[in-house]
Structure 1
Amino acid sequence: MKILLFLVLYITTVLSNTATWNIRPSDHNETVEEKIERGYQILKDEAHAADTKAFLLKLHDVEQGRETELDQQHANLPDDMKRYLNINFDEVKQMGDTIVAVNEKSHVEMALYQGDIMLTKEQGEQIINDIEQNDKNRLKRQAYHPMTFPMRLWSDGVSYTFHNASGGARKVFRRAVEIWQNVTCINFTENSTAVDKIIVVNSSGCWSELGKLGGDQVLSLGNGSKIPRRWISFEDDWKSQLIKESNITNYNYGLTYDYGSVMHYGARTASKNYRFTMIPQNDVEYVLTLGSDILAFYDMMMMNLHYGCLDRCGGVSSSKCANGGIPHPRNCSKCLCPSGYAGDLCTERPSTGCGATLIANFTEQTLTVTMGDRMSRILKDEFDLCHYWLQGPKNSRIRVVIDGYWGITAGGCKYGGVEIKTGEDKRYTGYRICSNDFAGVILTSTHNTVPVIVFNRYHSNTVTLRYQIGST
């Protein structure tokens, strides 16, 4: 599991908001090889930059014959997207970027695997072999199989220290560490003298190495900058980066593919003109959920499985957790709960922030929630949350109609939105919505309780929806 990247993903927006500088736009007449070389020249002093460069050049050669698949997917995008094709994203220019955007603007994204990973020679060779031997697999970045990359776990805990990192960077990194400690059995210790440790630096771009390599490992947290967005459709250079690994290397412990994973690419990743380059195949309403900054329950669950944290509790189903909860790895008598649920056994509505339990009947009722301050330009480190339950009688279903959304529209709903959980799997991330293009969408639940989570970290947002008992 790329625990280092999980940490980078959590803090990128805050860190990249601390400073900007002017960098010339990328030369889109450059070849892929030239862009890899340009990024390598920036990163060449890093321990595994040369190994990663060699891997990327080989990967580009391997994928030359497979670009037709991605081209066809992009050609079909307008039909698949339909009503969502023309969603307009708001650009909050003075604020932070995604990791991919930061690395693009730092001119290092083409010298990193999947835009943010530094690989050893061994890791690169394993992935190439896997790709050459397997065609049917998936695109999401997940855990790397412990049988494929042995000794990559931080089994004795993670030691870290800082080098040239700002006070703000240190604060938010420590907060990310605290979050992971609270939901896993992994211990983090700030220790500059440890033999094996992460060194957090302010360098070129945002990236990390894969797993535990031993000795000093760099986790780079760079700043973003502005770049013109006038190019059209899919970045050809990224086609070999969005490859599909098999379960030999890309392992998910049998867990559900979650569009809300913090490790999932955004819908416009590698886009030349910020049109969509990837969409949920089976449920297009998840398009704005992609690229989320919010830790998904399946992210937490996978990390716990990867590190064997639940073994001490007797496994995933050893406790009496309700609503998809799992034993808490630091207190087996209590549960770690999916979003929208709380309490020792996940039987309660979260009490933090605003919210209420609203009883649905056969007459439509309206819920309108406003959060934040439209006059404020302060980006909060964490989201403010309001938790509602729309609840009907046992065995009933709830029908929810989105009437409107007002606020900032961004990939992954990074600044605010609403999450509506109507699916059968209560662990699964709900639909995250932050665009008025979703007005008129009708969602019908599988269960008699629908958690509705309104969240905000910048400016203001308002959601209005109607709900009632639906047909069974």
Structure 2
Amino acid sequence: MNCSFRREQHAQLGNTKSGSSIAGMRRKRQAYKGGKFMWKDGMNYKFETGTSEQVKKDFANAAKAWSQDTCVDIRLNSSGKWNEGLHVTALYDACASDVGKVGGWQYLYLGRYCEGFGGIAHELGHALGLVHTMSRSDRDDYILVDLINMKPEYAEEFKKHSPVRSYGIGYEYGSIMHYGQRSVFLPQAYLIIPFDSKYKNTLGSQMISFADLTLINRHYKCTEKCDSKSSAVCKNRGYPHPRDCSRCLCPSGYGGKDCSERPSDGCGHELEASKTWQNVSITIRNDDPKQYLDGYKKCIYWIKSPEGTRMKIRLETIRFQSTAGCSNDGIEIKAKKDITLTGYRFCYEEDEDLVLSPRFSTAPVIVYSRVNITSTAIISYRYVLYLKHSSAATQIRVKCGFGSRCHRLPVYMKTISGYSQQKERNDVKR
């Protein structure tokens, strides 16, 4: 079952029997920053007897997704030689993990709401040391959390933690550690409301984001493993890969040896914007989700415009599954200045006719799906001239006479084609 929210409880197994609830056995969640809570020698895991083969496979995929792009090894204790790690069980109706390493064999619970890739990756994120994104001390700058309509016993899941080290990473709406708008606690209400409403379906992501990986890489000092003199020089906010310093780990939507190219390992192509509207129809269907670690097939398009211009992208038609958090399929458009963060995601028809204005001359558009149903998006795009202030900051000059009124004079602003007159004739009272 896919669910935007997952009820997570810190618990110890104690005498709890199979199938019974472990509600009320929680421990206070903390953001562990100290070295003793880190898996310095890698993370081991073993499964409770009776764990299904599907859960084992999904767990292995989530473990590989975290480890292949960080320096943290996550390995199955198949030989039995390790005496500490994660004891994974799906036999209890809970989704829970300690935050960071606590020593010995610590339990990681995978109940009915978190047996798939996304839920498992989320719990592994906690085990690696990550707290919920919406628990960041600066979360009130980005989202509204409705604590009024929430039962007190669930409020712990939304408690802010201060201090929590974010390592300079922006607020990631698309983090695997961020809850969606709705909750299994109170499904009829919106408990999280982003101030930028276009992010509402980016919340509750079932994918590990570039920012999530970067957070782990900085927390475990993976980025220090590469020598700056001999490592790859990366563009577009990428950085040398912690497992191969000669290549780059790139933000989503970017690829190539130095993150300056459109990723070539999939469908999609480049589109050149012009002054007039053009449109493109994009279809996607995932006939074999098992061939992807997280189950998602992705098609990446680049829409490009000349330097000194700004793009306009309009959503004409959206025909997707319309699931909470656009978790089954959708279209993602990167439009914000920080390209390391997940873009806006859409899958509902109500977002048709929305116009976005990316902040750069190359805008990645990512269409994704984990279902074997054909989904379609039609988008239009064009560019407009981008007015820039000249190097000598132009101020509005005001000419005043003997009367009580002043008149604004024309203001000149620099554009890519020379100087154009910005006519501001509105009277202003003195």
TM-score scaled by structure 2?
A: 0.72
Q: Return the offset for 1:390.
A: 0.4
Cα distance in 2 for partners of 1:465, 1:448 equals 17
Q: Is the contact between residue 271 and residue 277 of structure 1 (CA under 8 Å) also seen in structure 2? A: no
1:190 to 73, 76, 79: 76
Q: Deviations over 1:282-328 (max 9, x none)?
A: x110001001011111101000001110111157x975211111110
Map of 1:213 onto structure 2: 102
Map of 1:236 onto structure 2: 151
Contiguous gaps of at least 5 residues in structure 1: 1-11, 15-34, 50-104, 113-117, 128-143, 226-232
Cα distance in 1 for partners of 2:70, 2:291 equals 27
Q: Deviations over 1:413-453 (max 9, x none)?
A: 11000010111111111101111111121111111101000
Q: Deviations over 1:62-102 (max 9, x none)?
A: xxxxxxxxxxxxxxxxxxxxxxxxxxxxxxxxxxxxxxxxx
Map of 1:396 onto structure 2: 309
Q: Return the offset for 1:145.
A: 4.5
The residue type equivalent to 1:146 in the other structure is K
Cα distance in 2 for partners of 1:377, 1:427 equals 26
1:405 to 305, 310, 318: 318
Q: Is the contact between residue 234 and residue 270 of structure 1 (CA under 8 Å) also seen in structure 2? A: no
Provide closer, same or farther for how the CA distance between residues 145 and 211 of structure 1 changes in structure 2, counting only shifts above 3 A: closer
Provide closer, same or farther for how the CA distance between residues 338 and 378 of structure 1 changes in structure 2, counting only shifts above 3 A: closer
Map of 2:182 onto structure 1: 268
Map of 2:41 onto structure 1: 156
After superposing the two structures, state which structure 1 stretch, 413-422 or 197-206, moved more. Answer: 197-206
Provide closer, same or farther for how the CA distance between residues 333 and 384 of structure 1 changes in structure 2, counting only shifts above 3 A: same
Provide closer, same or farther for how the CA distance between residues 386 and 410 of structure 1 changes in structure 2, counting only shifts above 3 A: same
Q: Return the offset for 1:239.
A: 3.2
The residue type equivalent to 2:300 in the other structure is H
Number of matched pairs:
341
Q: Deviations over 1:12-52 (max 9, x none)?
A: 859xxxxxxxxxxxxxxxxxxxx99xx99xx66449x9xxx
Equivalent positions of 1:44-443 (< 5 A) are 45-46=13-14, 108=22, 111=24, 119=27, 144-147=31-34, 150-163=35-48, 164-191=50-77, 192-204=80-92, 205-224=94-113, 234-237=149-152, 238-247=154-163, 250-269=164-183, 272-281=186-195, 283-314=196-227, 319-372=232-285, 382-443=295-356
Q: Return the offset for 1:265.
A: 0.9
Q: Return the offset for 1:181.
A: 1.8
Cα distance in 2 for partners of 1:467, 1:419 equals 15
Cα distance in 1 for partners of 2:337, 2:20 equals 42
The residue type equivalent to 2:36 in the other structure is M
Secondary structure of 2:350's match?
helix
Cα distance in 1 for partners of 2:285, 2:359 equals 31
C-alpha RMSD of matched pairs (Å): 3.2
Q: Is the contact between residue 304 and residue 361 of structure 2 (CA under 8 Å) also seen in structure 1? A: yes
Map of 1:468 onto structure 2: 382
Cα distance in 1 for partners of 2:242, 2:83 equals 27
Q: Is the contact between residue 341 and residue 350 of structure 1 (CA under 8 Å) also seen in structure 2? A: yes
Q: Is the contact between residue 340 and residue 350 of structure 1 (CA under 8 Å) also seen in structure 2? A: yes
The residue type equivalent to 1:268 in the other structure is R
Equivalent positions of 1:4-15 (< 5 A) are 13=2
Secondary structure of 1:111's match?
coil
Cα distance in 1 for partners of 2:234, 2:265 equals 20
Secondary structure of 1:244's match?
coil
The residue type equivalent to 1:327 in the other structure is P
Identity of aligned residues (%): 33
Q: Is the contact between residue 397 and residue 444 of structure 1 (CA under 8 Å) also seen in structure 2? A: yes
Secondary structure of 1:198's match?
strand
The higher-RCO structure (CA 8 Å, 6+ apart) is 1
Cα distance in 2 for partners of 1:44, 1:453 equals 41
Q: Return the offset for 1:224.
A: 4.8
Q: Deviations over 1:367-411 (max 9, x none)?
A: 11121279x999985111111000111232211011121121122
Q: Is the contact between residue 444 and residue 470 of structure 1 (CA under 8 Å) also seen in structure 2? A: no
Cα distance in 2 for partners of 1:347, 1:377 equals 28
Q: Return the offset for 1:264.
A: 0.5
Map of 1:30 onto structure 2: none
Q: Return the offset for 1:267.
A: 0.8
Cα distance in 2 for partners of 1:266, 1:179 equals 21
Contiguous gaps of at least 5 residues in structure 2: 115-147, 387-430
The answer to which structure has the higher helix fraction is: 1
Q: Is the contact between residue 262 and residue 302 of structure 2 (CA under 8 Å) also seen in structure 1? A: yes
The residue type equivalent to 1:470 in the other structure is V
Q: Return the offset for 1:272.
A: 2.6
Q: Return the offset for 1:273.
A: 4.2
Q: Is the contact between residue 289 and residue 296 of structure 2 (CA under 8 Å) also seen in structure 1? A: no
Q: Is the contact between residue 395 and residue 447 of structure 1 (CA under 8 Å) also seen in structure 2? A: no
TM-score scaled by structure 1?
A: 0.66
Cα distance in 2 for partners of 1:215, 1:197 equals 6
Q: Deviations over 1:84-135 (max 9, x none)?
A: xxxxxxxxxxxxxxxxxxxxx9855x537xxxxx53xxx66xx5xxxxxxxx
The answer to which structure has the higher strand fraction is: 2
Q: Is the contact between residue 364 and residue 467 of structure 1 (CA under 8 Å) also seen in structure 2? A: yes
